[in-house]
Amino acid sequence: MSARRFLSIGECMVELSQAGDGLLRKGFAGDTFNTAWYARACLAADWSVDYFTALGDDAMSDEMVAFIDKSGIGTSLIRRIRGRTPGLYMINLKDGERSFSYWRDNSAARSLAADPDRVREAVESADVVYFSGITLAILPREDAATLLAEIRRAKAAGKLVVFDPNIRPRLWASYDVMHTTISEGARSSVLVMPSFDDEAAHFGDDSIDATIHRYKALGAVNIVVKNGADGVRLNFAGEETFVPAEKVKKVVDTTSAGDSFNGAFLSRYLETGDAPAAARFAAGVAARVVSEHGALVVKEKLGLSGGRARA
């Protein structure tokens, strides 16, 4: 079978976390990259997973590319821009509470869609295209329009286009722009994978039904609504299923729970087309992710073997 390509589009940042004694530990993470990581961990070897972003030409950009490459994720589509640098965020810890500081206003990734030919080339090369509300939020408005036009072409060509609204109000110029652009992202997609708490807080949905109805009305074909420890609701071709979350002994860190769920879900769904079974598998992977520290949990701790789940 010829290789199939899963393409994730967005921003990966340098992550600094507390390592004790005032020292900082450096890592790399970002919502769409995290999903690519888990898709790579769970997909069979006949799939390639590629990341599409923009980086600079500094040493930190080189290190990030090397890290992505070492993770088994393709870097050939990454745009390198002279004089630019990656975005950075720091995880602060005070009295056990985590908070985040970001330095990403001028990151290279903001220019990832500034060259329409490269966007077209990347999207055309893929069988599955994954992006998020954060991907759209960081782009200048005209570049978001460029990306969405290519995404719509992919949908029209019958590709699986997947969107996680991942709503982060502080990344958007206004609520109005945020609502309009996220709705446009969903309209351009086949499968939408929102988190209910975000949708309730920022779109005012009073129930999961309301979230499903709103995204259906926009033209999304299939919806997976994640609801933390309360499981997920699927609406595939109009058929509803509920899949519970797995019980976790001790939740250690919920960073990237949703991203890992998406990557694991897609890996199974792409292989079998069975959405409820894919959601059960993803609930298992996400449960392991929230039981460990950090956004990127290594494959050995995900209960997988040879790129596929044991069970």
For ligand AMP, which residue of 65, 290, 297, 302 counts as binding (CB under 6 A)?
290
Of 246 and 292, CB closest to ligand AMP: 246
For ligand AMP, which residue of 24, 44, 93, 251 counts as binding (CB under 6 A)?
251
For ligand AMP, which residue of 69, 115, 124, 246 counts as binding (CB under 6 A)?
246
For ligand AMP, which residue of 12, 148, 266, 287 counts as binding (CB under 6 A)?
287
Of 119 and 232, CB closest to ligand AMP: 232
Q: Which amino acid is at 294?
A: G
Please tell me whether residue 137 binds ligand AMP under the rule CB under 6 A.
Answer: no
E strand spans, the chain: 4-9, 13-18, 24-29, 47-52, 54-55, 79-80, 88-94, 97-103, 128-132, 160-164, 191-192, 222-226, 232-236, 239-243, 304-305, 308-309
Spatial distance between the Cα atoms of 38 and 14, rounded to a whole number of angstroms:
18
Please tell me whether residue 283 binds ligand AMP under the rule CB under 6 A.
Answer: yes
Number of residues that bind ligand AMP (CB under 6 A): 18
The H or E element that residue 116 is part of is: helix 116-124
Of 178 and 290, CB closest to ligand AMP: 290
Residues with Cβ within 8 Å of residue 105, at least 6 apart in sequence: none
Here the tokens at position 4 are: 């199939």
Which listed range, 37-45, 128-136, 245-253, 299-307, lies at the site for ligand AMP (CB under 6 A)?
245-253
Of 59 and 311, CB closest to ligand AMP: 311
Please tell me whether residue 277 binds ligand AMP under the rule CB under 6 A.
Answer: no
Please tell me whether residue 254 binds ligand AMP under the rule CB under 6 A.
Answer: yes
Q: Which residue is nearest to ligand AMP (CB)?
A: 258
Q: Which residues are catalytic?
A: 259
Q: Which residues pair with 17 in a beta bridge?
A: 25, 91
Q: 51 and 74 in contact (C-beta within 8 Å)?
A: yes
Please, which of residues 200-239 interact with ligand AMP by CB under 6 A? 226-229, 232
Please tell me whether residue 266 binds ligand AMP under the rule CB under 6 A.
Answer: no
Q: 221: exposed, middle or buried (C-beta count within 10 Å: 0-12, 13-18, 19+)?
A: middle
The H or E element that residue 290 is part of is: helix 275-290
Of 85 and 267, CB closest to ligand AMP: 267
Of 84 and 214, CB closest to ligand AMP: 214
Spatial distance between the Cα atoms of 15 and 89, rounded to a whole number of angstroms:
5
Q: Which parts of this chain interact with ligand AMP (CB under 6 A)?
A: 195, 226-229, 232, 245-246, 248, 251, 254, 257-258, 261, 283, 286-287, 290
